[in-house]
């Protein structure tokens, strides 16, 4: 173990230990190396301490400690941040991973979930009542980062973004104050949390609106990588019921039993279906999928809703190397389809994927300034996500993603989705929030003038600076 991390003043640490019920892990502790890891292996950082909070009191004490000591503070929910915002060098990591309680109110159709939950936690708890809300498509992703950034998933067309379903949130702000944020109380904060990322404080819990979703028809259908398949997919989204969730994926054929071996490792496009409508319409949905092109492999079955969100989990365990780019588009222009086909053909690994999320339907019924998430006119959000086994592999793949993003740029809107951005995209933050940026800056200035919460796609309290 290297010990380059500066030790903190013993007295101050003792005071924090007295105030916190959860664990405080330091560089000399045996589990430090495990505790400092984040999902994306690109980020190998050495914080001075990691606080594993077990209640709101621990959150308040840690926020106060970091602010008073002028230490860098990384807030970690599910730890999936691609830019690695859940960790830092020499500062404090506030790890919410022990805060995973959920209470479902089936009568009201709501759930209150603590800020360290993953989507696996939420899907499991709500499914017991035949209810669900929009979450991410990999179940280990945290609700904290995903929801505050916007939140796209299989249910987005029918139920809106994850942030659209947030009815209220309990938040600890930079001054250590606990604030309940509703439409009536701290409404500016509730507005900012719905898309503005982790800029405004630590969300101790979210209250979500739930929807009746239990069994679905879901799973992937693969086709050869071909622009005509993608054009037919575009038509499918334009004329199908919002109850049809259907992500388009451009990837190399995975080694799964339902895909013949000759397609393993070859460039394909796939549609991941999540039909939440009536079962007696399943055959119609299957027929639409068959019409998109020559099917080379398919696993589309009736399944409980939580299962569809676990289908990629095994392919994407923690500890791989990720670098992402993100775009928004009006429709899927032919030029973008050409780029998907050209760059899809050189997708670097089986774990890498270009994922195109349809965000029409319910996402469009929220006004562009009703929440911080500004792109209510975008029909699709694309994540370009090369995923590599070693750091050395990144040398070729990071330029691949950058060139791919440059090829998509003329066919994309100016900004992109913050949760699909990497750390070299900080200069796009203003464009990502469009007309909402100035209002976000004002909320930031009011609640976090010192920019304590700056490990994120940062909305600086003052124009042109990080402070």
Binding site for ligand FAD (CB under 6 A): 39, 75-82, 85-86, 96, 115, 136-138, 141-142, 144-146, 148-149, 151-153, 198, 202-203, 316, 322, 419, 455-456
For ligand FAD, the closer of residues 296 and 371 by Cβ is: 371
| Tokens describing residue 457 | 């796609």
Residue 222 gets the label, from left (phi > 0), alpha (psi -120 to 50) or beta, of beta
CB of 223 to ligand FAD, least distance (A): 21
| Tokens describing residue 316 | 């994407």
| Tokens describing residue 293 | 């092109």
Helix (H, G, I), strand (E, B) or coil at 344: helix
CB of 168 to ligand FAD, least distance (A): 14
CB of 170 to ligand FAD, least distance (A): 10
H helices, E strands: number in the chain: 14, 21
| Tokens describing residue 42 | 């690109």
CB of 249 to ligand FAD, least distance (A): 12
For ligand FAD, the closer of residues 75 and 289 by Cβ is: 75
For ligand FAD, the closer of residues 263 and 382 by Cβ is: 382
For ligand FAD, the closer of residues 46 and 322 by Cβ is: 322
- Segments of 117-214 assigned E as strands: 131-132, 166-172, 178-181, 202-209, 211-212
Beta bridge partners of 142: 118
CB of 152 to ligand FAD, least distance (A): 4
For ligand FAD, the closer of residues 202 and 356 by Cβ is: 202
Per DSSP, 126 falls in state H
Name the pairing type of β-strands 110-114 and 202-209. Answer: antiparallel
d(CA 134, CA 156): 6
d(CA 362, CA 369): 15
Q: How far is CA 223 from CA 44, 290, 298, 336, 370, in A?
A: 38, 10, 9, 18, 39
For ligand FAD, the closer of residues 49 and 82 by Cβ is: 82
For ligand FAD, the closer of residues 233 and 263 by Cβ is: 233
CB of 263 to ligand FAD, least distance (A): 23
CB of 91 to ligand FAD, least distance (A): 12
CB of 62 to ligand FAD, least distance (A): 12
Cβ atoms of 172 and 135 within 8 Å: the answer is: no
CB of 351 to ligand FAD, least distance (A): 9
For ligand FAD, the closer of residues 288 and 454 by Cβ is: 454
CB of 378 to ligand FAD, least distance (A): 13
d(CA 431, CA 130): 39
For ligand FAD, the closer of residues 38 and 337 by Cβ is: 38
Closest to 39 in 3D by CA, of 310, 318, 239, 241: 318
Helix (H, G, I), strand (E, B) or coil at 240: coil
CB of 193 to ligand FAD, least distance (A): 8
> Please, which residues have CB within 8 angstroms of residue 438's CB and are 6 or more apart in sequence?
none
Kindly report the backbone phi and psi dihedral angles of residue 404, in degrees, each rounded to the nearest multiple of 5, phi listed first: -60, -45
Within 177-304, residue ranges assigned H as helices are 187-193, 227-239, 282-291
For ligand FAD, the closer of residues 152 and 440 by Cβ is: 152
In degrees to the nearest 10, what's the CA dihedral of 32, 99, 96, 457?
160
As a whole number of Å, the end-to-end CA separation of the chain is: 34
For ligand FAD, the closer of residues 197 and 267 by Cβ is: 197
| Tokens describing residue 145 | 């980062």
């Amino acid at each position: 173990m290297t010990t380059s991390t500066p030790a903190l003043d013993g007295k101050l640490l003792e005071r924090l230990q007295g105030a916190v019920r959860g664990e405080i892990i330091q560089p000399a502790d045996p589990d430090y190396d495990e505790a400092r890891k984040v999902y994306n292996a690109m980020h190998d950082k050495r914080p001075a301490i990691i606080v594993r909070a077990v209640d709101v009191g621990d959150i308040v004490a840690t926020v106060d400690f970091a602010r008073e000591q002028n230490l860098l503070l990384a807030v970690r929910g599910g730890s999936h941040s691609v830019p690695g915002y859940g960790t830092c060098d020499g500062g404090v990591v506030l790890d919410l991973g022990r805060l995973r309680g959920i209470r479902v109110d089936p009568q009201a159709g709501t759930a209150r979930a603590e800020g360290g939950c993953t989507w696996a936690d939420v899907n499991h708890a709500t499914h017991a009542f035949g209810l669900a809300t929009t979450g991410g498509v990999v179940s280990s992703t945290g609700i904290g980062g995903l929801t505050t950034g916007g939140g796209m998933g299989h249910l987005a067309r029918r139920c809106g973004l994850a942030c659209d379903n947030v009815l209220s949130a309990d938040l600890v702000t930079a001054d250590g104050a606990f604030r309940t944020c509703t439409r009536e109380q701290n409404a500016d904060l509730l507005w900012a949390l719905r898309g503005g990322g982790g800029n405004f404080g630590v969300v101790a819990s979210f209250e979500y609106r739930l929807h009746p979703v239990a069994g679905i028809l879901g799973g992937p259908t693969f086709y050869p990588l071909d622009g005509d398949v993608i054009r037919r997919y575009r038509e499918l989204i334009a004329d199908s019921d919002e109850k049809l969730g259907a992500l388009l994926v451009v990837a190399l054929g995975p080694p799964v039993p339902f895909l013949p071996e000759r397609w393993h490792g070859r460039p394909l496009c796939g549609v991941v279906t999540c039909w939440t409508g009536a079962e007696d319409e399943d055959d119609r949905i299957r027929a639409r999928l068959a019409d998109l092109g020559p099917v080379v492999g398919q696993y589309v079955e009736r399944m409980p809703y939580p299962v569809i969100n676990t289908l990629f989990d095994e392919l994407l365990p923690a500890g791989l190397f990720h670098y992402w780019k993100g775009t928004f588009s009006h429709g899927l222009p032919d030029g973008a389809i050409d780029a998907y086909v050209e760059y899809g053909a050189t997708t670097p690994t089986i774990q890498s994927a270009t994922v195109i999320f349809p965000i029409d339907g319910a996402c469009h019924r929220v006004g562009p300034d009703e929440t911080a998430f500004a792109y209510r006119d975008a029909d699709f959000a694309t994540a370009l996500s090369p995923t590599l086994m070693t750091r050395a592999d990144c040398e070729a793949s990071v330029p691949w993603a950058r060139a791919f993003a440059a090829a998509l740029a003329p066919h994309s809107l100016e900004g992109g989705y913050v949760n699909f951005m990497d750390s070299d995209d900080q200069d796009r933050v203003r464009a990502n929030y469009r007309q909402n940026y100035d209002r976000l800056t004002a909320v930031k200035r009011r609640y976090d003038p010192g920019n304590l919460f700056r490990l994120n796609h940062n909305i600086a309290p003052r124009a042109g600076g990080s402070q």
